A and B are shown apart, each in its own frame.
Chain A
């Protein structure tokens, strides 16, 4: 790895790059999936390659190859420089200026108590098959699924400024879903979260802690009960949203619009821009006084954590929103100068073959003071919503609509009858402005989101969000119901 890095940097600078960095990324993954009693897949894979990013003639070029031979690496470096020159020759613009960063020679390793790749396949399948079967104890659950995913990444970053940083981490993910089918409806119920479950930096210990088998009967029962649950009323009401859905709400309506590359227009044609502008820092009211949001790459065990980002900037904890007021953006070395600051370390790439982009780390709604039971008891009328089922938001991150798997009426301070297919919609600042309560650290946890798409060519980032249940007033629910 070190030889490849040195070779890439030497070739790039020799070809005329004023700056170069190179990342060698070696990864291995394993996935086991069970569906309705059938082992659907047992697969594993590995990948190795190098991505070389350069500035030449004032523009970026990036080339990546799986050919790790000396010739292959040098050719990729030369191609990166040629790409930069091509970009510069026909698109006149101010040369790229990077915010300063020290040169680091360091190593970082994520937490992992029990290496999941050492666990016998039979043991993994036993958990999946047991959970899958337990969900189907309910006859209405006609389809069930359970899956485990493991990833190990080892990467080495070097730059022409003298950094050489080696990092390694392991990710573990698990989830189960029961699908109740009847009367033209298919209603999912998931645990511990939808869209693949929960994902963390950690090992087999994290899977055991989820107790998939123990939770499966409840998941199946709730899925079956949804078929006869009440439809979501179409009204404007108070909603209390569980932590996992708050995590996605933060992701879509705070995480993405505070990415500085979106603010500056670099993602306009694909993911979109942001309703926020550079001048909004320290003045824009994002939400109520209860809304404080951090971007933190130092949270232990989070998918959003690392020692250094993919341009060698140390992991940091920054405040994006304090007491409802916007205070910062997630940035890179190139974009940070636009707000007169140094990078807060949010550049991440989806593997060796992608150029880093501004990506979320662990973007969290900081906990409040409420006990969950007290919050329900304090709510006269409304709906309690759990677990995301669908998400959509406009290109400026203002107009959103989320559907959840399940809800319960709240009447006179108590949870009432179950509601199926609940959804809600809103406009970002008004929605966060209506937040009048956030639950305490006792109810706060970090949710991994391993499927955040952005960029062209598409990149899928593994990010995370800390969240606790929170309450919002005057929210429109039951849209299109």
Chain B
């Protein structure tokens, strides 16, 4: 069982008081999670875990050190606090460190659901069976997961921060594999399991698998593409990882660094980070206990600025947007709730507007070839189709792309009106729409 809100708060405050330093901060993350995994139309893993981690940041002047433990007796907390202080004692002074942030009001949004909390092993098994049934009825094979997470987070510091919240979420995925090379994918992420329909999810994947049977070869080249929200979420996530954080911005390694106030992509593209957005999941405050705020990153195609934490806000002279990750970390502040502003086209309208192009259900194994231009490479997977004369026609074998994403977002044909929540859950997710992009370069195909 995870800690209650009150016990998480008490543990964090105990740790702060146990740390003999100029200032101290404690972060408690307590979680119970479970995951039912199926493949070959059977459940092959059924796992559950519970753990509570405590991390202490000690401050001596402008020197900091961090230690963590998952033991919570007095001796362990004392040992952890002493290790953090000892680390700080060895650290050089850091003139850019302006101290731990003070308390700030945090918007209250409920992120717990009784339905999700009640989604136990029997419910997950029933859901798996319903998903599998949609594939097995067609003679197909299903694989995927149904995972639930229930967690509490508490942040306390000597400056008066005492932030605490609890949240849960459910994530389900399904890959349906056909008999003649077809495959289909569907995923679902929510904080409220009442909206989860396993059979509908399984049906969506199986239908795509059925439709993608007997995929044909297609010459690589530059095509118009309609990317489903799951594929678009990959692009947003890499923009966030590589460019929207204040650390890469400050170092000169972000595409934003020299672009603030200039037109970067199509004027219809607006990207925000917003942990308070209706329908999303995740934390309402960051790992310094600062409130998350709706933060524009690209507005009307124009570069606005990065997300920050207390350190980079001070260093850059920007507001603290509340995007600290647990200290220390190699990434700096990161957007965990990216969203693409919705457009006015349905996916069907996008497809209908394309004479010849490619529809992509999702990408696989995307990675970075140029971190400043955001050149990515990856594969299509589980439902790639040729679009001809405004309709999906021939299923296509998986294609490799190598593409400058900023260039692709400068040639937008349409933006979807419906947004889907995509991501691994636990701490954040991406709200993505479908996108019609006029130029996308496929550079290879699996034979």
Whether A41 lies near B51 (C-beta < 8 A) is: no
Is A127 in contact with chain B by the CB < 8 A criterion? no
A90-B43 contact given A399-B379, A421-B370, CB 8 Å threshold: yes
**Which listed residue (B129, B375, B381) contacts A480, Cβ 8 A?**
B375
Distance to closest chain A CB from B248 (angstroms): 9
Whether B48 lies near A143 (C-beta < 8 A) is: no
Closest B residue, CB atoms, query A45:
B68
**Which listed residue (B87, B369, B372) contacts A121, Cβ 8 A?**
B87
Interface stretch of the complex, out of A4-12, A31-39, A152-160: A31-39
Whether A82 lies near B40 (C-beta < 8 A) is: no
Whether A269 lies near B52 (C-beta < 8 A) is: no
A399-B445 contact given A91-B42, A457-B35, A457-B147, CB 8 Å threshold: yes
Expressed in whole angstroms, the Cα–Cα distance for A385 and B144 within the complex equals: 38
Is A451 in contact with chain B by the CB < 8 A criterion? no
Distance to closest chain B CB from A135 (angstroms): 14
Whether A63 lies near B65 (C-beta < 8 A) is: no
Is B138 in contact with chain A by the CB < 8 A criterion? no
Whether B87 lies near A43 (C-beta < 8 A) is: yes
**Which listed residue (B87, B175, B177) contacts A44, Cβ 8 A?**
B87
Which residues of A lie under 8 Å from residue B34 when comparing CB positions?
A: 83
Whether A63 lies near B47 (C-beta < 8 A) is: yes
**Which listed residue (B37, B52, B66, B367) contacts A390, Cβ 8 A?**
B367
Whether B45 lies near A60 (C-beta < 8 A) is: yes
- Interface members, chain B 57-109 (any A CB < 8 Å): 65-71, 80, 83, 86-88, 90-92, 94, 96
Expressed in whole angstroms, the Cα–Cα distance for A92 and B129 within the complex equals: 10
Which residues of B lie under 8 Å from residue A267 when comparing CB positions?
A: 39
Whether B177 lies near A268 (C-beta < 8 A) is: yes
Which residues of B lie under 8 Å from residue A47 when comparing CB positions?
A: 53, 69-70
- Interface members, chain A 401-423 (any B CB < 8 Å): 401, 403, 421, 423
Whether B443 lies near A269 (C-beta < 8 A) is: no
Size of interface on A: residues with Cβ below 8 Å to B: 80
Closest B residue, CB atoms, query A37:
B92
A456-B46 contact given A40-B330, A47-B70, A186-B372, CB 8 Å threshold: no
Is A210 in contact with chain B by the CB < 8 A criterion? no
- Interface members, chain B 207-236 (any A CB < 8 Å): none
Whether B44 lies near A425 (C-beta < 8 A) is: no
Is B252 in contact with chain A by the CB < 8 A criterion? yes
**Which listed residue (A44, A264, A390) contacts B377, Cβ 8 A?**
A390
Expressed in whole angstroms, the Cα–Cα distance for A93 and B371 within the complex equals: 47
Whether B49 lies near A65 (C-beta < 8 A) is: yes
Distance to closest chain B CB from A153 (angstroms): 15
Which residues of A lie under 8 Å from residue B47 when comparing CB positions?
A: 61-64, 83, 354-355, 457
Whether B367 lies near A391 (C-beta < 8 A) is: yes
Expressed in whole angstroms, the Cα–Cα distance for A42 and B66 within the complex equals: 6
**Which listed residue (B71, B80, B121) contacts A83, Cβ 8 A?**
B121
A184-B373 contact given A48-B70, A89-B125, CB 8 Å threshold: yes
Is A323 in contact with chain B by the CB < 8 A criterion? no
Which residues of A lie under 8 Å from residue B366 when comparing CB positions?
A: 392
> Chain B, interface size: which category?
35 or more
Whether B125 lies near A86 (C-beta < 8 A) is: yes
Whether B446 lies near A143 (C-beta < 8 A) is: no
Distance to closest chain A CB from B172 (angstroms): 11
Which residues of A lie under 8 Å from residue B94 when comparing CB positions?
A: 38-39
Closest A residue, CB atoms, query B447:
A427
Expressed in whole angstroms, the Cα–Cα distance for A264 and B39 within the complex equals: 9
Which residues of A lie under 8 Å from residue B48 when comparing CB positions?
A: 62-64, 79-80, 83
Is A125 in contact with chain B by the CB < 8 A criterion? yes
Whether B46 lies near A61 (C-beta < 8 A) is: yes
A170-205 to B contact mask, C-beta < 8 Å, 1/0: 000000000101001110000000000000000000
Whether B44 lies near A60 (C-beta < 8 A) is: yes
Distance to closest chain A CB from B76 (angstroms): 8
Which residues of A lie under 8 Å from residue B40 when comparing CB positions?
A: 93, 264-266
- Interface members, chain B 8-39 (any A CB < 8 Å): 33-39
Which residues of B lie under 8 Å from residue A389 when comparing CB positions?
A: 369
Which residues of B lie under 8 Å from residue A83 when comparing CB positions?
A: 34, 46-48, 121
Whether B49 lies near A353 (C-beta < 8 A) is: yes
Whether A43 lies near B68 (C-beta < 8 A) is: yes
A125-B44 contact given A86-B122, A480-B403, CB 8 Å threshold: no
**Which listed residue (A266, A269, A427, A456) contacts B174, Cβ 8 A?**
A269
Whether A185 lies near B365 (C-beta < 8 A) is: no
Whether A66 lies near B46 (C-beta < 8 A) is: no
Is A448 in contact with chain B by the CB < 8 A criterion? no
Closest B residue, CB atoms, query A122:
B90
Expressed in whole angstroms, the Cα–Cα distance for A270 and B172 within the complex equals: 12
Distance to closest chain B CB from A429 (angstroms): 10
Which residues of B lie under 8 Å from residue A63 when comparing CB positions?
A: 47-49
Whether A60 lies near B50 (C-beta < 8 A) is: no
Whether B90 lies near A425 (C-beta < 8 A) is: no
Whether B381 lies near A395 (C-beta < 8 A) is: yes
Whether B67 lies near A45 (C-beta < 8 A) is: yes
A91-B328 contact given A185-B372, A480-B369, CB 8 Å threshold: no
Is B378 in contact with chain A by the CB < 8 A criterion? yes
Whether B46 lies near A269 (C-beta < 8 A) is: no
Distance to closest chain B CB from A245 (angstroms): 14
**Which listed residue (A59, A66, A89, A121) contacts B52, Cβ 8 A?**
A66
Is A84 in contact with chain B by the CB < 8 A criterion? yes
Is B299 in contact with chain A by the CB < 8 A criterion? no
Is A142 in contact with chain B by the CB < 8 A criterion? yes
**Which listed residue (A42, A89, A145, A421) contacts B65, Cβ 8 A?**
A42
Expressed in whole angstroms, the Cα–Cα distance for A396 and B129 within the complex equals: 26
Which residues of B lie under 8 Å from residue A66 when comparing CB positions?
A: 50-52, 70-71
Is A49 in contact with chain B by the CB < 8 A criterion? yes
Expressed in whole angstroms, the Cα–Cα distance for A36 and B247 within the complex equals: 12
Whether B90 lies near A121 (C-beta < 8 A) is: yes
Expressed in whole angstroms, the Cα–Cα distance for A457 and B92 within the complex equals: 38
Interchain residue pairs with CB less than 8 A apart (17): A38-B96, A42-B65, A62-B48, A64-B49, A86-B122, A87-B43, A90-B129, A91-B132, A93-B42, A265-B39, A265-B141, A268-B143, A392-B365, A392-B366, A393-B379, A394-B446, A456-B45
B residues contacting A by CB (< 8 A) are 33-53, 55, 65-71, 80, 83, 86-88, 90-92, 94, 96, 121-122, 124-126, 128-129, 132, 141, 143-145, 147, 173-175, 177, 251-253, 327-330, 364-373, 375, 377-379, 381, 398, 400, 402-403, 441, 443-447
